[in-house]
Structure 1
Amino acid sequence: MQKEIEITVAPEHVSNEQVILQNLARALKVDIAKLNSYKVLKRSIDARSRKVIYRLQIRAYIDEQPLEEQNTFSYPTLNKDKIVIIVGAGPAGLFAALQCLEKGLKPIIVERGKDVKQRRRDLAAINKQGVVNTESNYCYGEGGAGTYSDGKLYTRSNKRGDINKILQIFVQHGADEDILIDARPHIGTNKLPHIITAIRETIQNAGGEVLFDSKLTDFLVTEGKIKGIVINQEQELLADHVILATGHSARDIYELLNKKNILIEAKPFALGVRVEHPQQIIDSAQYHCDIRSEFLPPAYYSMVEQVKTRGVFSFCMCPGGIIAPCATDINEIVVNGWSPSKRNNPFANSGTVVQVTLDDVQGYDPLRMLNFQSEIEQLAFEAGGGNLVAPAQRMIDFVENKLSIDLPKNSYLPGTKSVMLDNILPDFVSSSLRAALPLFGKKMKGYYTNEAILVGVESRTSSPVRIPRDKETYQHPQITGLYPCAEGAGYAGGIVSAAIDGINCANAIVNK
């Protein structure tokens, strides 16, 4: 007999099988000897009261043994005449390729950047020298922006596809099995490169191809049908199906589509700063303690506030994390965050952003939101003075309109410079942040402090452009065989939702 039940345990006992069995026997009112086995289905921390506990959703096996689960994925012999070109080797592109292989189609991934190993050198140059390689950086290259984004795997995309399949594939390629049960699973930036490499090798071993340093420079279209693409302005690659999974930072793709009169649309996004606190402040507030227990992970938070008609919210929170320079072009500042698997750095950072609506940027140009985003990033670069030095301000100083005399120690490696962030951010963004930050402080003790630093700018929260597609076929309304996909097309927001969208686009090709 099997029964599913929730029990609670203290953090120090969350991995203690004997304690869990005792709690199960007590909750189910059965003899502990009858409990042959159990499986943890979900695990979450409940810190709402002063006594922090773990909640475990468990399947108990009473007087029976669990069946061995088969969670590996295999791929059939390919029909090499059925080719699908996938542009972009981020989560959407990689999982689209895996799904193509599963259905017997041959995927060819073209990626403008380098493989993980070669990409590391360019990231080192960004962090240490402030030099941006416009084709290989935190956003471009094998694994896309997801490779260096902490590997957060929690998502609200429950109805779009099989989340468990995504997690199982990550585990099959080296991720810790904890991601299958944690309420807020993450892989860690230190582990992701190896996992991404393993996924690519699976694709190649099953008959797919992955081409690096291969930038899409044109679409081949005849009578409203895709016929292929041009790589690096010289090589033609032919296929009747192209999945466009280029990510939200590939601005040249939007410009190419617009130049060729292929329909794109301006899209709202969010803009703000990355807020960083000492991790100890967040731990103390969330766990109601002076020193975090060794049995608890670094604490996270999620904030949202309505300021008049605008939403202000935290985004991509990284406990024990690092603020990273994520510019994709020269003369711009873009910041994001990541964490290693242990989340053991001394700081906690989170994007803290304000909604930007279509009414905020007047006009009819489909690229107007993108251009607005770019202008802010260039202002941030100028304010920092070059070499990716980022403009920054202490939190209370920002709210009180004071230039910070000095800045606290922080994790942003290229360095920070004290400036008035009002000179960079639009008035409606500054005023909304100024109203929201003290309110966040009322929700979480210690949040509103001058020990926190605001680093600008957090601008790549989502795509400022949408590439439209049909809801049923996933194809662009003007171009048969072109499948706009995931974050870059405006249909996803994170690793899991992007992976699901990649799978859905591949399935749409199979169904067609």
Structure 2
Amino acid sequence: MIKEIEITLSPELVAQPQAIKEQLAATLKIKASRIQSYQIIKRSIDARSRKVIYRLQIRAFIDETFFTETTSFNYPPVKEDRTVIIVGAGPAGLFAALQCIENGLKPIVIERGKDVKQRRRDLAAINKEGIVNTESNYCYGEGGAGTYSDGKLYTRSNKRGDINKVLQIFVQHGADEDILIDARPHIGTNKLPQIISAIRETIESAGGEVRFDSKLTDFLIENGKIKGVVINQAQEILADSVILATGHSARDIYELLHAKNILIEAKPFALGVRIEHPQQVIDSAQYHCDIRSEFLPPAYYSMVEQVKTRGVFSFCMCPGGIIAPCATEVDEIVVNGWSPSKRNNPFANSGTVVQVTLNDVEGYDPLRMLNFQREIEQLAFEAGGGNLVAPAQRMIDFVENRLSIDLPKNSYLPGTKSVMLANILPEFVSESLKAALPLFGKKMKGYYTNEAILVGVESRTSSPVRIPRDKETFQHPQITGLYPCAEGAGYAGGIVSAAIDGINCANAILNQ
């Protein structure tokens, strides 16, 4: 007999198999000896009461031999007769390539940046010297922005596709199996590069291609049909299907589409700052303790508040993380966050942003939201004084309109400079943040403190442009064979949802 039930355990017992068996037996009202084995299906932390517990969804094998279904995906050699060009080697592009191989199509992935090994040097230059390589940075290169984004795999995209398939593929390429059961799975920035490289090796071993230092500079279009692309203003690659998975920071792609009179649309996004606390503050608030138990992971939080008609919310929270410089041009400041797999850094950071609507930016230009975003990033650069030094302010000082005399120690390696952030952010953004932060403090003890630092600006929460596509065929309404995909086209947000969208685009090509 096999039964699926939920049990609860204290953190110190959750890793002890005998304790799990005994709790299963007590819940099922049977002898523990009858439980031959068990399989954890889902695992989550419940910290709503003062006593923190784990909730385990378990498949128990009672008087029955344990078995488990192993999932693996086969990628047979592909033929040369039908190719698909995939622009961008982020999660969407790589998973689109894997799905193309499953479908018997040959993917040619072109990526403007470098492979993960070469990319590390450029990231070191960003952090240590404040030097931005505009083609190889935190956003461009093998794995895209996802490679250095903490590897959060939590998503609500279960209606868009098979989340478990995406997780299983990550496990098949080296991710820890815990991502299959954790309620909020993550891989860790330190582990993602090797996994991304393994996915590339799978693509290449099946006959697919991944070309680095290959920047899309033009589309080849005849009579409203895609015929291929031009890379590096020189080389033509021909194919009748192109998946455009360039991510939300490839502004030159939007500008190229606009210049060629290919329909794009302005899209709302969110703008704000990245807020960093000592991790101990978050642990104490969320776990109701002075010192976090060794059996609990660093705590996370999620905040949302309505300020008049605007939503203010936390975004991409990184326990035990680092604030990273994610500029893609030399004259802008963009910040984001990541965490290693153990999340063992002393700080916790989260984007905290305000909704920006189409009505907030005048005009009808489809690039107006992009230009607005760029303007704020350039103001932040000027305020920091160069070398990617970021403008920053203590939390209460920001709310009370006071320049911080000094700044707390923080994780942003290029350095921070005390400024009045309200002089950089649009007034509706800064006023919304000022109203929301004290309210966040009422929801979470210790959150509203001058030990927290606000670092500007968090501006790449999502694409400020949408590339339209047909709901059924996934193709651009004007260009047959062009498949706008994932975050860069405005149809995903995060690693898993982007991967799912890549899979969906590859399947749409097969169906055509």
Q: TM-score, normalised by structure 2?
A: 1.00
> In structure 1, how many angstroms separate the alpha carbons of the residues matched to 2:79 and 2:473?
22
2:418 corresponds in structure 1 to: 418
Q: Cα deviations across residues 229-260 of structure 1 (Å, max 9, x unaligned)? A: 00000000000000000000000000000000
2:90 corresponds in structure 1 to: 90
Residue 352 of structure 1 and its aligned partner are, at CA, apart by: 0.1
> In structure 1, how many angstroms separate the alpha carbons of the residues matched to 2:474 and 2:258?
19
Gaps of 5+ in 2: none
> In structure 1, how many angstroms separate the alpha carbons of the residues matched to 2:146 and 2:323?
15
**Are residue 435 (structure 1) and residue 435 (structure 2) matched?**
yes
- 1:170-249, aligned counterparts within 5 Å? 170-249=170-249
**Are residue 299 (structure 1) and residue 299 (structure 2) matched?**
yes
2:284 corresponds in structure 1 to: 284
Residue 67 of structure 1 and its aligned partner are, at CA, apart by: 2.8
2:272 corresponds in structure 1 to: 272
> In structure 1, how many angstroms separate the alpha carbons of the residues matched to 2:9 and 2:358?
48
Q: Cα deviations across residues 304-339 of structure 1 (Å, max 9, x unaligned)? A: 000000000000000000000000001100000000
Q: Cα deviations across residues 469-502 of structure 1 (Å, max 9, x unaligned)? A: 0000000000000000000000000000000000
Structure 1 moving runs of 4+ over 6 Å? none
The code of the aligned residue for 1:297 comes to P
Q: Alpha carbon RMSD of aligned pairs, Å?
A: 0.5
Q: SS of the residue aligned with 2:342?
A: coil
1:71 corresponds in structure 2 to: 71
The code of the aligned residue for 1:46 comes to D
Maintained 8 Å contact 2:274/2:335 = yes
> In structure 2, how many angstroms separate the alpha carbons of the residues matched to 1:466 and 1:472?
17
> In structure 1, how many angstroms separate the alpha carbons of the residues matched to 2:323 and 2:292?
22
> In structure 1, how many angstroms separate the alpha carbons of the residues matched to 2:78 and 2:346?
49
Q: SS of the residue aligned with 2:496?
A: helix
Q: Cα deviations across residues 33-65 of structure 1 (Å, max 9, x unaligned)? A: 211111000000000111100000001111112
> In structure 2, how many angstroms separate the alpha carbons of the residues matched to 1:65 and 1:484?
48
Residue 9 of structure 1 and its aligned partner are, at CA, apart by: 0.5
1:444 corresponds in structure 2 to: 444
> In structure 2, how many angstroms separate the alpha carbons of the residues matched to 1:30 and 1:207?
54
1:110 corresponds in structure 2 to: 110
Maintained 8 Å contact 2:77/2:205 = no
The code of the aligned residue for 1:386 comes to G
Maintained 8 Å contact 1:298/1:343 = yes
Residue 70 of structure 1 and its aligned partner are, at CA, apart by: 2.5
The code of the aligned residue for 1:217 comes to T
> In structure 2, how many angstroms separate the alpha carbons of the residues matched to 1:362 and 1:404?
33
1:125 corresponds in structure 2 to: 125
The code of the aligned residue for 2:356 comes to V
Q: Cα deviations across residues 122-143 of structure 1 (Å, max 9, x unaligned)? A: 0000000000000000000000
Residue 30 of structure 1 and its aligned partner are, at CA, apart by: 1.6
Q: SS of the residue aligned with 2:43?
A: strand
The code of the aligned residue for 1:102 comes to E
> In structure 1, how many angstroms separate the alpha carbons of the residues matched to 2:101 and 2:61?
36
User: Sequence identity, in percent?
Assistant: 85
1:254 corresponds in structure 2 to: 254
> In structure 2, how many angstroms separate the alpha carbons of the residues matched to 1:375 and 1:30?
66
More displaced, 65-74 or 457-466?
65-74
1:40 corresponds in structure 2 to: 40
2:328 corresponds in structure 1 to: 328
The code of the aligned residue for 1:320 comes to G
Maintained 8 Å contact 2:322/2:337 = yes
Residue 77 of structure 1 and its aligned partner are, at CA, apart by: 3.5
2:363 corresponds in structure 1 to: 363
> In structure 1, how many angstroms separate the alpha carbons of the residues matched to 2:63 and 2:199?
39
**Are residue 381 (structure 1) and residue 381 (structure 2) matched?**
yes
Gaps of 5+ in 1: none
> In structure 2, how many angstroms separate the alpha carbons of the residues matched to 1:410 and 1:27?
46
> In structure 1, how many angstroms separate the alpha carbons of the residues matched to 2:167 and 2:63?
30
Maintained 8 Å contact 2:46/2:52 = yes
1:467 corresponds in structure 2 to: 467
1:28 corresponds in structure 2 to: 28
Q: SS of the residue aligned with 1:80?
A: coil
Maintained 8 Å contact 1:76/1:103 = no
